[in-house]
Amino acid sequence: MEAFFFLSGMFFAMVILRKVIGFFYRNRRCCVLVPLVSAFLFIPGLMYLIHAQIDGEPLSTQGVLHAYGLLHHLWFLLTLAAIPFLLPVSFFERAAALAFPAADRHSQRLLRREVLLKGYSEWASLSLVPVKARFLVFYAAGYAFYLNSEQIPRQARSLLVNSKVVLAFAVVCWLAFYATFHFNVTSNLRYLPVLCASVFSVMFSYWLVFTFEKLRMKENRLVQGIVDSALIIYIMHYPLVITFAWLLDSYLPNAMPVTYVAVVTALGLICSAALYLIFKQLPLLSRLFGLKPAKLPRLPAVVPKS
């Protein structure tokens, strides 16, 4: 998630510099706000039906109302929409100038702010403002990073984007979480893996940008399809994965956790991608979920014979 907000901040800066701010807000309305409202109309109700079926509970009006008081995984779209709409562009310009005054220092400053914000949110158990502020840090960092994109060749030598260092730190984070869970750590040390993950989030965000910068991938149908389908897959995978996980509980034994996760994930992605292909063919659903409707092939004009 942190890496995605980092990339979103870069996209924000790119659109503003290449086009106009009005284009960006029109794009956000069509591609984020409208899909958010459309998904909220049915996702909470669908999740209530799924959970009621799993728990064997009868349906009730109170249960439905309670379900629509939850955002479920749609909090991500809400945060993505709120950041650019509630904060003016001048905020990000000042953040880039004050918090990240030089391209060779903004990585370290970002790292300190991210660790402090994530640590505060975990210790204080305030799940709304600190967590969203943490994502705002990545959004602003992506914005500042794009403004300093000419420094990419020099930044590519940083340890933050060294593949071996990133992989090693990922292993360290995994071991920290495993040890905390395996030994049932209940002291303040249980927050250590979270702080490690904060550092890894920064490293992974930069590594992702620099890796794709080196690849120099050209636009093709596969890349375009992945980009276009990402939102639908994100919205639909949540209820699908939970449903498949419940259905497969009685078929895959507990001794096969890796197989269980792999099968559930594959089924969720395949079915979500299939729904994307269906939605794309229907003009109304395409507009509701921020898609460009599929273009029908134009038939050649028939010239009547005289």
What tens digit of pLDDT does each residue of 79-91 get?
888 888 888 888 8
Percent share of the chain, pLDDT over 70? 82
pLDDT at 100 over 70: no
- Band (pLDDT 50/70/90 cuts) for residue 295 is low
Q: Is 64 inside any structural domain? A: yes
Q: What is the pLDDT of residue 83?
A: 87
Q: What is the pLDDT of residue 187?
A: 87
pLDDT at 107 over 50: no
Per the model's pLDDT, the better-predicted residue between 197 and 300 turns out to be: 197
Q: Do 155 and 262 belong together in one domain?
A: no
pLDDT at 121 over 50: no
pTM: 0.76
Q: What is the pLDDT of residue 112?
A: 43
Q: How many domains does the chain have?
A: 2
Q: What is the pLDDT of residue 111?
A: 42
Q: Do 30 and 151 belong together in one domain?
A: yes
Question: 62 with 85: CB under 8 angstroms?
Answer: no
Q: Tell me the residue range of the domain where 253 lies.
A: 219-289
| C-alpha–C-alpha distance, residues 102 and 154, integer Å | 12
Q: What is the pLDDT of residue 6?
A: 86
DSSP state of 29: I
Q: Is 299 inside any structural domain? A: no
Q: What is the pLDDT of residue 237?
A: 93
- Residue 302: left (phi > 0), alpha (psi -120 to 50), or beta? beta
Q: What is the pLDDT of residue 94?
A: 79
Question: 144 with 10: CB under 8 angstroms?
Answer: no
Summarize pLDDT for 227-258 with one digit per residue, the tens.
889 999 999 999 999 999 999 988 887 778 88
Mean pLDDT of the chain: 80
DSSP state of 289: T
Q: Do 78 and 206 belong together in one domain?
A: yes
Q: Do 19 and 68 belong together in one domain?
A: yes
Per the model's pLDDT, the better-predicted residue between 176 and 209 turns out to be: 176
pLDDT at 274 over 90: yes
pLDDT at 120 over 80: no
Q: Do 249 and 186 belong together in one domain?
A: no
- Band (pLDDT 50/70/90 cuts) for residue 125 is very low
Q: Is 89 inside any structural domain? A: yes
Q: What is the pLDDT of residue 18?
A: 81
Q: Do 165 and 233 belong together in one domain?
A: no
Q: Do 136 and 199 belong together in one domain?
A: yes
pLDDT at 122 over 80: no
Across the range 211-215, mean pLDDT stands at 74
Q: Do 96 and 243 belong together in one domain?
A: no
Burial of 143 (0-12, 13-18, 19+ CB in 10 A): buried
Per the model's pLDDT, the better-predicted residue between 124 and 192 turns out to be: 192
Across the range 101-128, mean pLDDT stands at 43
Look up residue 40 and give its amino acid: F
Q: Which of 77, 112, 70, 72 is nearest to 5 (CA)?
A: 77
Alpha helix segments (H runs only) across the chain: 2-18, 21-28, 34-55, 61-67, 75-86, 89-98, 106-124, 129-147, 152-155, 163-182, 192-215, 221-248, 257-281, 283-288
